[in-house]
């Protein structure tokens, strides 16, 4: 192992940024010019088109490295959304961008990148959405950027970045029955807080993370966004390579942290005996053990199983197993939204849609759905929602004084059945 002149090794984020910038090593705080491996845009990407032309750019640096996905308003639910879609379609056509996931072949942008192998180990990936962090589960630096930055990336394929310091999260023990990756990341968020990783990398490791499937790793990296992180990462291993084997769109450059890497802080989490967790209103770091909240008999008006955090086929199967033969409680609206069209199709094949709809839930097409308060499932004032999504700030799902509780898919389904916040272990 070579550590160069710095006297210590590099973290995973530093390794990827060194590779992207062509440096032998980088240090936290250093400004690099990184070569981008993958650029992703959704509807907000329509705001990049003006700056792209204003810069005098005429062509996109590499059309094969750009993915556009329509996901927030699918199909368009307002005139404004329809205009955004049209801007993106026109831009893709004019610039010869072939990788456009339009209505009918759509899904949440991060899920589309994940299930189609667009981001691979060692990549520097950027997207016009803050939850681009999710793709760091591939062992990549994946980060959200603004429209003007994205315009520069589209023109040049390069981006200035500051090398972040890294928080190390080491997870030991074994998750108990009914306790999930979502519960783990909520617990970590409760400790780190929403500003505790501001412009830092969060690197997950330890026996528990090594056992996690790729979907579970996507969930924990996704919610590093709620910690303020620049990126969330898991080192690539056999799980990563097996997942990407048939779908990787370009060559992998797997990297791992050096043994003597320097971390700003190490957080050790022992999950032995940990119960399911819940983030209570009105911030994702207001985290409490779920059994405590169950004792308060919190009635809900709506339950939502969806979002880029938790709407993969594994989440749908887990939810359907609890829902089978049960009914949605009287007075509760239960919205189920898969993360992509292929997941929707798989739910159709496996009878999962039947299970949910026969129970009284509404099963929607794949989209961001109720998560962001702009399309469907919007909350009225004072309403309460149990959600498998990632944010519960005031106004996130509609009315500013609605209350949102964040939890695992299993807990959301148990809550929909009971009509009040429930522990999924009672139903499994």
pLDDT along the chain (428 residues), means of 10: 62 98 97 98 94 96 98 94 96 97 96 98 97 98 96 97 98 96 98 96 98 98 98 98 97 97 97 98 97 97 97 98 97 98 98 98 95 92 98 95 98 98 95
| pLDDT at residue number 6 | 58
Q: Which helix (H) or strand (E) holds 233?
A: strand 231-234
Place of tokens 């498998």: 388
| pLDDT at residue number 191 | 96
Rounded CA separation 376/368 (Å):
9
Q: Backbone phi, then psi, for 289, in 5-degree steps? A: -60, 135
Strand segments, DSSP code E, in 271-383 are: 277-279, 287-289, 302-305, 333-336, 362-363
- Which positions ≥6 away from 202 have C-beta within 8 Å? 166, 167, 169, 192, 221, 224, 227, 229, 231, 232, 233
| pLDDT at residue number 14 | 98
Burial 275-310 (b: 16+ CB within 10 A, else e): bbbbbbbbbbbbbbbbeebbeeebebbbbbbbbbbb
| Helix residue ranges, H only, 313-386 | 313-323, 341-349, 352-358
Enumerate domains of the chain plus CATH numbers: 9-246+261-268 (3.30.499.10), 277-426 (3.30.499.10)
What is the reported pTM? 0.96
Q: Backbone phi, then psi, for 247, in 5-degree steps? A: -120, -10
| pLDDT at residue number 350 | 98
Task: Look at the chain and count its residues.
Answer: 428
Rounded CA separation 4/25 (Å):
7
């Amino acid at each position: 192992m070579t550590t160069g002149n710095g006297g210590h090794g590099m973290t995973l984020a530093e390794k990827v940024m060194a590779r992207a910038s062509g440096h032998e090593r980088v240090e936290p705080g250093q400004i690099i010019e990184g070569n981008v491996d993958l650029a992703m845009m959704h509807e907000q990407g329509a705001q990049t088109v003006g700056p792209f032309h204003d810069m005098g750019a005429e062509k996109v640096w590499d059309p094969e490295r750009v993915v556009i996905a329509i996901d927030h308003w699918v199909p368009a639910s307002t005139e404004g959304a329809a205009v955004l879609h049209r801007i993106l379609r026109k831009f893709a056509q004019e610039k010869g961008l072939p990788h456009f996931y339009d209505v009918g072949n759509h899904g949440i942008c991060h899920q589309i990148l994940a299930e189609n192998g667009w981001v691979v180990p060692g990549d520097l990936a950027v997207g016009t959405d803050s939850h681009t962090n999710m793709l760091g589960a591939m062992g990549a630096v994946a980060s959200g950027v603004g429209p003007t930055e994205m315009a520069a990336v589209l023109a040049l394929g390069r981006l200035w970045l500051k090398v972040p310091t890294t928080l190390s999260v080491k997870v030991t023990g074994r998750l108990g029955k009914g306790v999930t990756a979502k519960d783990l990341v909520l617990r970590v968020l409760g400790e780190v807080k929403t500003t505790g990783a501001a412009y830092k990398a969060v690197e997950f490791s330890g026996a528990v993370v090594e056992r996690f499937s790729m979907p579970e790793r996507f969930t924990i990296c996704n919610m590093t966004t709620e910690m303020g992180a620049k990126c969330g990462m898991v080192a690539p291993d056999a799980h990563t390579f097996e997942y990407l084997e048939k779908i990787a769109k370009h060559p992998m450059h797997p990297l791992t942290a050096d043994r003597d890497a320097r971390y700003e802080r190490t957080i050790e989490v022992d999950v032995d005996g940990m119960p399911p967790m819940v983030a209570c209103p009105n911030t994702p770091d207001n985290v409490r053990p779920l059994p405590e909240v169950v004792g308060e008999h919190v009635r809900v008006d709506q339950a939502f199983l969806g979002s880029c955090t938790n709407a993969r086929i594994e989440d749908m199967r887990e939810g359907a197993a609890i829902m089978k033969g049960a009914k949605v409680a009287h007075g509760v609206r239960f919205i189920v939204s898969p993360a992509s069209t292929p997941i929707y199709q798989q739910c159709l094949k496996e009878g999962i849609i039947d299970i949910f709809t026969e129970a009284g839930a509404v099963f929607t097409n794949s989209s961001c759905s109720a998560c962001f308060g702009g399309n469907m499932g919007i909350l009225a004032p004072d309403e309460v929602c149990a959600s498998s999504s990632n944010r519960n700030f005031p106004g996130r799902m509609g009315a500013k004084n609605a209350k949102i509780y964040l939890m695992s898919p299993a807990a959301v389904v148990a809550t929909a059945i009971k009509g009040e916040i429930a522990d999924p272990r009672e139903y499994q």
